[in-house]
Amino acid sequence: MNNIISKNSNDEKEIAIRKAREKLKNIIKENDKFNLRDLSRILKKNDAYLQQYLFRGTPRILPEECRYRLAQTLEININEITPNWYAQNLVENKIITFENIEKKYSSSPRKISLSEELLSDILPTNLEKLFYFQTHTHDYKITTIVDTNVNEYIGPNLYLLNDKDTFFLAYVKESELKDNRMNVKPFLKTFHSFHIASKLLKISAKVLWQSSKIIYE
């Protein structure tokens, strides 16, 4: 009897694995930005990595980091390409959902989900004030988790700043001139550093975590 239950359970898992693989295959077919080689390179794998996964079943299940990168690149929910039983295991291991801090004005997904394990070293006790922010350029995309519990300068760090309802990331430190001004170095290199009076600096959050660059090729 136990053998029958075990066999049925394994069969269901294999079906879920195939469904997740087919779902990803269809999503990639429908997108007009990336082919399998592009996506494999974004995953920092060899050019045939996703070809082997989708058509040969190797690996059986994509590692979490790969699924996360694909979800971010293709702008989908990571659970769409995760076998349902495996996703349930991840829920038991705690998945944390973050809302987009930009809300009204962003083309990025309204929410993203990450495993607690991925963020275990940086999570504060008050998770309700954590949000995500996405930085886009023509070449790459980076996801950042920010903590709105910190909305004032607490020392040299990478912060999320707000200028006329436009968010941007910048390294902030006190000016060497010691004149109550702050030195602001935008995260994006297309913008120049500048000085600003400390009372005019609008800090929305402190950066806790950033993903690797997802590079468009």
Give the pLDDT confidence of 58-116 residue by residue, as tens digits. 888 888 778 888 988 888 888 888 887 665 555 455 678 888 998 765 667 788 877 77
Residue, of 213 and 158, whose pLDDT is higher: 158
Which pLDDT score, from 0 to 100, does residue 137 have? 76
Which pLDDT score, from 0 to 100, does residue 1 have? 43
Q: Is 197 within the bounds of a domain?
A: yes
- Looking at the fold, whether 85 and 34 belong to one and the same domain comes out as yes
CATH of the domain at 36: 1.10.260
The gap from C-alpha 213 to its chain's centroid, in whole angstroms, comes to 10
Domain boundary among 76, 92, 108: 92
- Looking at the fold, whether 7 and 83 belong to one and the same domain comes out as yes
- Domain range enclosing 59: 2-92
pLDDT band of residue 6 (cuts 50, 70, 90) is very low
Q: Is 109 within the bounds of a domain?
A: no
| Residue 49: CB atoms within 10 Å | 20
Q: Is 97 within the bounds of a domain?
A: no
- Looking at the fold, whether 124 and 211 belong to one and the same domain comes out as yes
Domain boundary among 52, 77, 92: 92
Q: Is 154 within the bounds of a domain?
A: yes
Please write the tens of the pLDDT for every residue from 122-177.
766 678 889 999 887 777 788 899 999 999 999 999 999 998 888 999 999 998 76
d(Cα 180, Cα 196) in Å, to the nearest integer?
9
- Looking at the fold, whether 121 and 180 belong to one and the same domain comes out as yes
Q: How many domains does the chain have?
A: 2
Phi and psi angles of residue 193, each rounded to the nearest 5 degrees, phi first:
-65, 155
- Looking at the fold, whether 79 and 126 belong to one and the same domain comes out as no
**DSSP letters for 25-68:** HHHHHH-SS--HHHHHHHTTS-TTHHHHHHHH--SSS--HHHHH
Q: Is 105 within the bounds of a domain?
A: no
CATH of the domain at 186: 2.10.109.10
Residues 70/79, Cβ–Cβ less than 8 Å: no
